[in-house]
């Protein structure tokens, strides 16, 4: 429970930091857009506005995900994070389409931005603020594995490139006389946002579809079930739900082992897994050794461990 509370606190603080940063950047960019008329800056402003909405949704999601399991949600509320991540993807997609449309209009009209110094200064400030936020988010992601904070981090990573592109567009258009650089960079920003949305959607969809853990982690988990009384681990199934992870598998024990002895073995295996995989909820099913049992789902991998030196 202490581990879960620490995760909840870390993700909540990261979400609050994201909201505060989005508010700060939205205010700066609204002023810069009005001053310059830059379509690249407009794209950056729209993205910051959507960042604020996404960050508020993320804050809501991590609060819901941190709630303990209840009568109607026996596996907890962790998938609220995946839903929030998909919502962010929708916002990213909408912003990319809007920026692309506005950039094409500006390219066809041939108008140029004004007072570019304001836009450059604001973009530099935005880069510094975003660098600080993304560094903090990455530290939280390493500790919690939060898919909602991960999606938010992807969005803000795209902001770094977006703000750099705004600076490049304004410099090329204003100081080097490359007419059309501003809307062209706006189109590139839209394409990058769309790609970022695609990347952010994968983890969320994997969680909602109960995708198995990565193969290397599954192998490590299977190896962690080694116990002198365990004659084989099979039918390992894993899934993730927000910051919560679940694993279930079968072990084989001597046919003459009592229920109490088998339960003791399971307790020892669970204790070892709790140390190596903090926060993972484990469900173990015991089978008598030599029993031939087929899984209900023929697609489930057997994941047999090597038999112990027991004369087999």
Q: What does the pLDDT look like over 54-108, one tens digit per residue?
A: 778 777 777 776 676 677 766 666 777 777 778 878 877 877 787 788 778 767 7
Whole-prediction pTM value? 0.56
Question: Do residue 152 and residue 257 come from a single domain?
Answer: no
Question: Do residue 54 and residue 186 come from a single domain?
Answer: yes
Instruction: Look at residue 226 and tell me if it is in a domain.
Output: yes
Instruction: Look at residue 63 and tell me if it is in a domain.
Output: yes
Instruction: Look at residue 243 and tell me if it is in a domain.
Output: yes
Instruction: Look at residue 301 and tell me if it is in a domain.
Output: no
Question: Do residue 89 and residue 223 come from a single domain?
Answer: no
β-bridge partners, 284: 249
Q: How far apart are CA 304 and CA 44, in angstroms?
A: 52
Q: Which two tokens stand for residue 310?
A: 């027991």
Question: Do residue 66 and residue 155 come from a single domain?
Answer: yes
Which of 173, 190, 208 delimits the end of a domain?
Answer: 208
Per the CB < 8 A criterion, the answer to whether 68 and 28 are in contact is no
Let me know how many helices (H) and strands (E) the chain has, helices first.
8, 3
Instruction: Look at residue 294 and tell me if it is in a domain.
Output: no
Per the CB < 8 A criterion, the answer to whether 3 and 32 are in contact is no
Q: How far apart are CA 146 and CA 231, in angstroms?
A: 35
Question: Do residue 101 and residue 171 come from a single domain?
Answer: yes
Q: How far apart are CA 98 and CA 166, in angstroms?
A: 16
Total structural domains in the chain? Answer: 2
For the segment 134-187, what is each residue's pLDDT rounded down to a tens digit? 899 888 888 777 767 777 777 677 677 777 877 887 788 777 777 777 777 778
Sign for the pseudo-dihedral over CA of 275, 281, 286, 292: negative
Q: How far apart are CA 264 and CA 204, in angstroms?
A: 37
Per the CB < 8 A criterion, the answer to whether 65 and 77 are in contact is yes
Instruction: Look at residue 132 and tell me if it is in a domain.
Output: yes
C-alpha of 173 from chain center? 36
Which of 180, 208, 236 delimits the end of a domain?
Answer: 208
Question: Do residue 184 and residue 68 come from a single domain?
Answer: yes
Q: H or E segment at 264?
A: helix 259-276
Instruction: Assign residue 181 the CATH number of its domain.
Output: 1.20.1510.10
Per the CB < 8 A criterion, the answer to whether 47 and 95 are in contact is yes
Q: What is the pLDDT of residue 242?
A: 65
Closest CA to 38 of 167, 161, 125: 167
Domain membership of residue 26 as a residue range: 2-208
What 3-state class would DSSP assign to 70?
Answer: coil
Q: What is the pLDDT of residue 40?
A: 66
Question: Do residue 133 and residue 169 come from a single domain?
Answer: yes
Per the CB < 8 A criterion, the answer to whether 281 and 246 are in contact is yes
Question: Do residue 254 and residue 189 come from a single domain?
Answer: no
Instruction: Assign residue 249 the CATH number of its domain.
Output: 3.30.70.1350
> Mean of the pLDDT values across residues 40-59?
76
Per the CB < 8 A criterion, the answer to whether 182 and 39 are in contact is yes
Instruction: Look at residue 173 and tell me if it is in a domain.
Output: yes
Closest CA to 224 of 270, 288, 281, 284: 270
Q: What is the pLDDT of residue 137?
A: 87
Q: How far apart are CA 289 and CA 167, in angstroms?
A: 68
Instruction: Look at residue 277 and tell me if it is in a domain.
Output: yes
Q: Which residues contact 156 (CB under 8 A, 6 or more apart)?
A: 18, 21, 51, 130, 133, 134, 137
Q: What is the pLDDT of residue 144?
A: 77
Question: Do residue 96 and residue 152 come from a single domain?
Answer: yes
β-bridge partners, 49: none
Which of 175, 193, 208 delimits the end of a domain?
Answer: 208
Question: Do residue 35 and residue 17 come from a single domain?
Answer: yes
Question: Do residue 107 and residue 8 come from a single domain?
Answer: yes
Q: Which residues contact 275 (CB under 8 A, 6 or more apart)?
A: none
Q: What is the pLDDT of residue 309?
A: 42
Question: Do residue 163 and residue 260 come from a single domain?
Answer: no
Q: What is the pLDDT of residue 305?
A: 43
Q: Which two tokens stand for residue 139?
A: 């530290």
């Amino acid at each position: 429970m202490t581990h879960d509370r620490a995760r909840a606190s870390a993700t909540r603080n990261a979400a609050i930091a994201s909201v505060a940063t989005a508010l700060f950047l939205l205010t700066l960019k609204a002023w810069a857009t009005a001053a310059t008329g830059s379509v690249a800056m407009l794209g950056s402003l729209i993205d910051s506005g959507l960042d604020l909405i996404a960050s508020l949704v993320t804050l809501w999601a991590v609060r819901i995900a941190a709630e303990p399991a209840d009568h109607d949600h026996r596996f907890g509320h962790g998938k609220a994070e995946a839903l929030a991540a998909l919502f962010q993807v929708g916002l990213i997609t909408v912003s990319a389409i809007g920026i692309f449309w506005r950039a094409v209009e500006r390219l066809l009209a041939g108008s140029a931005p004004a007072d570019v110094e304001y836009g450059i200064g604001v973009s530099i400030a935005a880069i510094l603020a975003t660098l600080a936020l993304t560094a903090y988010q990455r530290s939280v992601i390493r500790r919690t594995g939060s898919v909602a904070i991960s999606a938010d981090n992807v969005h803000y990573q795209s902001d770094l490139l977006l703000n750099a592109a705004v600076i490049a567009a304004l410099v090329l258009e204003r100081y080097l006389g490359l007419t059309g650089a501003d809307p062209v960079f706006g189109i590139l920003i839209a394409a990058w946002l769309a790609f970022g949305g695609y990347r952010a959607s994968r983890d969320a969809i994997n969680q909602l579809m109960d995708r198995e853990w990565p193969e290397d982690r599954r192998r490590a988990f299977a190896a962690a079930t080694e116990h002198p009384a365990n004659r084989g681990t099979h039918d390992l199934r894993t899934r993730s739900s927000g910051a919560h992870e679940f694993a279930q598998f079968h072990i084989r024990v001597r046919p003459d082992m009592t229920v109490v002895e088998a339960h003791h073995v399971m307790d020892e295996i669970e204790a070892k897994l709790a140390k190596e995989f903090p926060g993972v909820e484990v469900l173990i099913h015991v089978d008598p050794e030599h029993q031939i049992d087929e899984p209900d789902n023929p697609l489930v991998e057997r994941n047999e461990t090597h038999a112990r030196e027991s004369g087999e």
